[in-house]
Amino acid sequence: MEIVGENNNSAQNQKGVPLDLVKSAEYIECENCGGTVFQEKMMIKQISKFMTGSNQDSIVPMPVIACAKCSHVNELFKPQI
């Protein structure tokens, strides 16, 4: 995560995004509780051995972003697989 400082006169961060855009951007809120602090969590999918042709089921970890307050995962953050 990049932290953007305001100590330069060019009013741009290192990637060239104007600081005005960052300042005016709205925080993403949790769809469940309205919280604005999130943390990385892990969802796990189990894939049947019959689908993969292997001897046993496979476990696939999928990183997601969840609300730090209630652990809800917004639709925006769910894997689209």
The confidence band for 14, taking pLDDT boundaries of 50, 70 and 90, is low
Arithmetic mean of pLDDT, 30-59: 95
Arithmetic mean of pLDDT, 53-58: 94
Distance CA 2, CA 13 (A): 9
DSSP annotation string for 2-62: PPPP--STT-B-TT--BHHHHHHPPPP--TTT----EEEEEEEEEE-HHHHTSSS-EEEEE
Write down the mean pLDDT value for the chain: 84
Query: Model-level pTM?
Result: 0.64
pLDDT for 17 equals: 67
In terms of pLDDT, which residue wins out, 15 or 77? 77
